[in-house]
Structure 1
Amino acid sequence: MINAIQEMQRDKPLILLVDDLPANLHVMIAALKADFRLKTATSGVSAMALLDGGAECPKLLIVDVRMPGMSGIDMLRRMRAAPHLCDIPVILVSADASEQFQTTGLDLGADDYLVKPIFRDTLIIRARNLIQRSEERDKLRLAGHVFDFSGEAIMVTDANNDIVDVNAAFIKLTGYSKAEVLGRNPRLLASSRNTREHFRLMWDTINADGYWQGELWQTRKDGSVHPKFMTVSVVRDRNGEIEYFLTNSVDISEYKESERRIAHLAHHDVLTGLPNRLHLQIYLDQSILIARRMGEQLAVMFLDLDRFKNVNDTLGHPVGDELLIEVAARLKSCIRDYDVVARLGGDEFVVILRGAEILSDAIAVAKKLNHRLSQPFVIGAHTLRLSASIGIALYPDNALTIDDLMKNADTSMYFAKSDGGNAFRFFSPAMDLGAHEKLKMESQLYEAIERHEFELHYQLQVDQHGRPRGAEALIRWHHPEDGMVGPDQFIPLAEESGLILPIGHWVLEQACARIRAWQGDARTCTLVLAVNVSARQFRQPDFALQVRAAVQRHGIDPALLKLEITESLLLKKVDEVVAIIAEIKALGVGFSLDDFGAGYSCLQYLKRLPLDQIKIDRSFVRDLATNDSDKAIVRTIIAMAANMKMAVIAEGVETEEQRRILLAIGCSDFQGYLFGCPLPVAAFEAALAMAP
């Protein structure tokens, strides 16, 4: 109760009362104590000592004019000459009603003059009004300071959108002086890169919402053009009519250039400069639409270099990288300008052809590719010879979707390789010899769900000091005939068949049950358990409700559950993905983006996702010690994650050298065989107990 009263007192403005007669002070205290905090002084000298002593500065002074030693007039004169006191409002009070005293006091800067006796209500109202005006003046002074010294360019225009004021940052950014722009319309800064439609939408939003934020191109006085991020706010008068438009803008040239470089990295292979998987996905998607509309065909050519691994193993990765660069250049020389060659990773490339006579075109290009690649490569002191196995799938003859085209081209490539390489093969249904096995496994998966043949294994995740931070839950299948089966062998089929939904739900429930069990043990109570979530599972309409129900049913701390999603989610309905993630994060559950960099790496969407962590794919970790390109990619990912306020974990860490390199470039969390393989729960807990 006492603390509450003290808090209420602290919120009241402080007034200093100065009068040499205690009776007068008593009258003023009685009038003001309910609304203000009060300090008193019985002379001008003691009042000035209080003001100069570094104590809390009052919001108002009420000073008697006639005092011995230092009068109220003398005190006011000293205050107005002192920089730290000159703005404090002062009310002079006196029993003398002569005009001379009033004129002198007001001339020195008194804010009010009251003649005794003073009515209580009059004193309260005058004090309150002066304090309010002083606070408003302070706000205006602060606003003026912000305007003058803001790092953002600020422009104020009137209701007719004519410029009435600009600040120093505006002058620096545009090159125009204030005199050159006052009274002019801001269109003098416009660039032809902005479309009429863009401006129309901008003004529609301003008129409707009173606010707009976005990017525009701006022309400086010297004619140079730069991008800016701009905010426009409407200022209205008391009648609701537009009085001013307030515009803040900043130059984002460096940001745009950085964004362009990141976007290039996102769409292109760092080593060869060829389009990467994301670019290929977009190009294929567009090409299928064009082919369907124009009645054309497509050829997807999956190319794998024969015996390339021998080059890396015998001559080292630097030579292998130089060889891949030369291969990329030769592949590009074999296709037309509107065709595409992309690198998927390693020694895998894809060529996309489009045309009306696609069969003959594909044969001609495949022969040309084999011929060009068979010519000797001179890499430093080494003369190397290569060949390639090429698999070809045609649209629409062999498949109608991107995934099926790629799969069929990949299948036919393996047939070319199994025939000795240096050859090309077209896909045929007879190649899909595994269809029967797939049907058999699908049936067995149904039975596995019913017979509870799945179990979770756990792989440790550690921090930079090797301390346990969490674990990833990894599913295993106790196959009645084949023994323990890893997820790579059955999860793709589960995705395709839809069985991933009941399997994924089982994994989520088991993981939450495990977190609940671990919460009672000091060694495991802080471990964050990561659970993989497939795109198909994530896109269920009730997925967020499933997560909420599992968390509540098992009574776990939601912060100990982390859901790992993949980049394939970013290919469509990004707004829906963002909404689902936000809904689940509101529960306290974390999110990690798995295998980052190996998939689509769609950065324009990634920046919108409220993720907690990015997981660097093992394919970049594997060759860190010997591959500068992989190191550059990992360094870029870590820097980007830091800018986005996301944590980073590297998977597939198997050697101390990999860990050391990752630590040196800023990675602090790790997962891999260096710290432990996936283990059944009992073995995992036993290993954890042995950890330092």
Structure 2
Amino acid sequence: MPDVNPATHDKPLILLVDDVPANLHVLAAALKAGYRIKTATSGPAALELLERDDKPLLVLLDVMMPGMSGIEVLRRMRQKAETRDIPVIFISADTSEQSQLDGLELGADDYLTKPVVTSVLLVRVRNILQRKRAETQLRLAAHVFEHSGEAIIVTNHHNDIIEVNPAFTRLTGYTLADVLGKNPRILSAGHTDPELYREMWEAIHQRGFWQGEMWDRNKDGNVFPKLLTITVVRNARREIDFHLASFADISQQKATEERIRHVAHHDPLTGLPNRLHLQIALEQSLALARRERREVALMFIDLDRFKIINDTLGHNIGDGLLVQVAQRLKASVRESDLVARLGGDEFVVVLSGEPIAHAAVSVAEKILGTVSQPYQVESHALHTTPSIGISLYPQDGGGIDALMKSADTAMYHAKEAGRCQFHFYKEAMNRHNQERLTLENHLHQALELEEFLVYYQPQADVQSGRLVGAEALIRWQHPERGLLTPDAFIPTAEDNGLIMPIGEWVLRQVCRQIHAWREAGLQPPVIAVNLSARQFRQDNLVDCVRGILSEAGIAPASIELEITESAAMDRAETATAVFHALHELGVGIAIDDFGTGYSSLSYLKRFPVDKLKIDRSFIMDIPDDPNDAAIAQAIIHMAAGLGLQVVAEGVETEAQRDFLRQKGCDFLQGYWFDKPMPGEAFAALLGRLHAS
């Protein structure tokens, strides 16, 4: 028969079986408000309905029916796996106690006598369905506990182990008998910071949940990293009765992450750091040199006549020669120095320390002598020599590009002078210094003459394309050179200290602009403002930010401060305190250029940051470059695990947008969505969005 009461399929389905239609009508009328109802007027009809996919959660079954009795229907139900566990309530006119006992012994879950009292019926039905749900949940929980791939420990309120699952034994080697009544710290490898334990227990007691990485030692003494999740079970008084801890061995994941990092940062042929690694390391060396007013030497090395060897004997022989050259270069420098391969036959050595010029001469002479010795590659006796160009920071350039260009120029002078020698970059030193002095003077005037501008680059939700924020970017309207981007003047401003007043000007300008937009009826999103490393280290940073916000009359949550990964990790302990102070103030915090530095995950978890911004260098070649794609995906997954949002910088193509969307990135910034624009243009954009 069709349903008496067709209803939405989210209601529990009950099958009513009785040979008297009037009885079915009474039962259906009592139940139809809270349940879907199907009916059958005979045993065979009921069994036919039970064969269908849409099986009931409960059967109300008349005992005495002509042909096939309810008892026979129940017997057949219990014989089939698909209907064996469906609860059954017998309904009978026989009110004797023996009849009820017989029905229950036959396997019925309950027994009602006719005439059925509606209120009793509803209570019995509700109780059986609730019990059935509880039994199902218990079976599922038991199945998960027994068959989970993750180790599970259950401890009491004293944190004594009372139960473990088979995966725990497989992973650690300990059986329940080994650990029963003991504290889980018997697994500790002793590698975990006590501060992390303190934070863990604080989170467990306050929030009832904690997740993080720790190191354990198994029964055989082997140490392994684990991703641990702890939840609690509380009683009616909100007291903790049990701790549920699950963990998995993440050794393979750690090894994969390390391989990804190594592949991303090292040359596959020679094993030397690659161009990306060089750029990161050189940025760090220059940042340290700026702080401590020290010099850095950059040596650009090119092999003489290598192309002839490569073209004549083939790439395999050429590659073999490059491997041996790389080994000799590493042997020629100090452990603190860096040797990198740019590609082809080009190598770079970075030296730091005092006196740098003398050290550069010593290393260059050693490289000339070592690299010029004969080589044996397979059956070929080979000979090559190095031509070396040397540039010094800060004399020959304040940034990586300038130093590389200077060293490259000096290297070509060495080749033109006869090869197998080294040259310092000196030819353009006076002109460079003059240009630098001129730029510094113009920078001072630019502040006084208000030649700086703030542009705003929108940020979009990667799923919806909706505007969610913007980054404030400084521009210089130079009276002679036109509109300049930060690369043209910020390195000089950082060197001479002007970055402090310039950075403060940008922050003040942005806060005033936000206030003005709101006064005009616009609704600007959160605006991100970059903090330089010098600003981040200033003692009164938090007071300065608080004062500017108060002066502009806007809430702290209106802005987000971006700090580069290298600046944050430079003095991590101090940075932690500054981050917490800014967080308490109420401003958003983002780690900029993430992936280009060497963040300690232990510190990253302690920083109260909101977002990670993936550096554009990892975005520009995705999805085609598997290394960049792997790095971007790893950053996104790691951020998700830490509860952080991710902004991808430099998104310029639909393919990049689609890749980031698929991998779970939150926001994008780049020309695919919109380019940086003056405040007036951004206000017009806000106006259009407000109107729509």
Q: Same fold, TM exceeding 0.5?
A: yes
Identity of aligned residues (%): 34
Q: 1:52 to 1:331 in 2, by over 3 A?
A: closer
Q: Give the alignment's Cα RMSD to 1 decimal.
A: 6.4
The CA distance in 2 between the partners of 1:448 and 1:315, in whole Å, is 58
SS in 1 for 2:64: coil
- 1:294 maps to none
Q: 1:616 to 1:475 in 2, by over 3 A?
A: same
The CA distance in 2 between the partners of 1:71 and 1:457, in whole Å, is 80
The CA distance in 2 between the partners of 1:320 and 1:448, in whole Å, is 57
- 1:45 maps to 44
Q: Where do 1:505-524 residues align within 5 Å?
A: none
Preserved CA contact (<8 Å) 2:209 2:232: yes
- 1:373 maps to 367
- 1:383 and 2:384 equivalent? yes
- 1:236 maps to 234
- 1:273 maps to 272
- 1:350 and 2:350 equivalent? yes
SS in 2 for 1:118: coil
Q: Where do 1:111-510 residues align within 5 Å?
A: 111-159=109-157, 161-176=159-174, 178=175, 180-181=177-178, 183=180, 185=182, 187=184, 190-194=187-191, 197=194, 201=198, 204-205=201-202, 208-209=205-206, 210-262=208-260, 273=272, 276=278, 278=280, 300-305=295-300, 308=302, 333=331, 339-341=336-338, 343=340, 347-353=347-353, 365-375=359-369, 376-377=371-372, 378=374, 381-389=382-390, 391=392, 422=423, 433-434=434-435, 436-446=437-447, 449-450=450-451, 479-482=478-481, 488-493=487-492, 497=498, 498-499=501-502
The CA distance in 2 between the partners of 1:431 and 1:91, in whole Å, is 95
Q: Which amino acid aligns with 1:94?
A: S
The CA distance in 1 between the partners of 2:71 and 2:676, in whole Å, is 85
Q: What 5-or-longer segments of structure 1 have no aligned partner?
A: 290-296, 459-471, 511-529, 554-561, 622-630, 654-658, 681-692
CA positional deviation for 1:175: 3.5
User: Larger deviation: 273-282 or 80-89?
Assistant: 273-282
Q: Which amino acid aligns with 2:350?
A: V
The CA distance in 2 between the partners of 1:286 and 1:305, in whole Å, is 21
Q: What 5-or-longer segments of structure 2 have no aligned partner?
A: 415-421, 458-470, 514-526, 637-645, 679-692
SS in 1 for 2:198: helix
Q: 1:102 to 1:609 in 2, by over 3 A?
A: same
Alpha-carbon displacement from aligned partner over 1:62-101 (angstroms, at most 9, x marks no partner): 2222111122222221222221222222211222123332
Q: 1:6 to 1:276 in 2, by over 3 A?
A: farther
Alpha-carbon displacement from aligned partner over 1:450-481 (angstroms, at most 9, x marks no partner): 5x8x79999xxxxxxxxxxxxx9998866544
Q: 1:349 to 1:18 in 2, by over 3 A?
A: same
Alpha-carbon displacement from aligned partner over 1:400-447 (angstroms, at most 9, x marks no partner): xxx98999999998999899854699xx99995556413432245347
User: Larger deviation: 601-610 or 154-163?
Assistant: 601-610
- 1:28 maps to 27
SS in 2 for 1:616: helix
The CA distance in 2 between the partners of 1:563 and 1:124, in whole Å, is 60
Preserved CA contact (<8 Å) 1:616 1:651: no
Preserved CA contact (<8 Å) 2:303 2:385: no
Aligned length: 590
The CA distance in 1 between the partners of 2:87 and 2:551, in whole Å, is 63
CA positional deviation for 1:13: 2.8
- 2:686 maps to none
Preserved CA contact (<8 Å) 1:300 1:409: no
- 1:65 maps to 63
Preserved CA contact (<8 Å) 2:164 2:176: no
The CA distance in 1 between the partners of 2:79 and 2:334, in whole Å, is 82
Q: Which amino acid aligns with 2:25?
A: H
CA positional deviation for 1:185: 2.4
Q: Which amino acid aligns with 1:52?
A: E
- 1:638 and 2:629 equivalent? yes
SS in 1 for 2:155: strand
Q: 1:202 to 1:474 in 2, by over 3 A?
A: closer
Q: Which amino acid aligns with 1:49?
A: E
Q: Which amino acid aligns with 2:364?
A: N
The CA distance in 2 between the partners of 1:330 and 1:113, in whole Å, is 90
Preserved CA contact (<8 Å) 1:217 1:226: yes
SS in 2 for 1:24: helix
The CA distance in 2 between the partners of 1:334 and 1:478, in whole Å, is 47
Q: Where do 1:532-543 residues align within 5 Å?
A: 535=532, 541=545
Q: If the length of structure 1 is used for normalisation, what is the TM-score?
A: 0.64
Preserved CA contact (<8 Å) 1:175 1:222: yes
Q: Which amino acid aligns with 2:202?
A: T
Q: If the length of structure 2 is used for normalisation, what is the TM-score?
A: 0.64
CA positional deviation for 1:253: 0.5
The CA distance in 2 between the partners of 1:439 and 1:231, in whole Å, is 54
The CA distance in 1 between the partners of 2:241 and 2:363, in whole Å, is 69
SS in 1 for 2:24: helix
Q: Which amino acid aligns with 1:273?
A: L
Q: Where do 1:94-105 residues align within 5 Å?
A: 94-105=92-103
Alpha-carbon displacement from aligned partner over 1:538-583 (angstroms, at most 9, x marks no partner): 999489999999xxx9xxxxxxxx9999655654648988999xx9
The CA distance in 2 between the partners of 1:448 and 1:206, in whole Å, is 52
Q: 1:15 to 1:671 in 2, by over 3 A?
A: closer
Q: 1:320 to 1:612 in 2, by over 3 A?
A: farther
CA positional deviation for 1:248: 0.7
The CA distance in 1 between the partners of 2:285 and 2:623, in whole Å, is 26
Preserved CA contact (<8 Å) 2:234 2:241: yes
The CA distance in 2 between the partners of 1:136 and 1:12, in whole Å, is 17
User: Larger deviation: 429-438 or 46-55?
Assistant: 429-438
Preserved CA contact (<8 Å) 1:43 1:70: yes
CA positional deviation for 1:149: 2.1
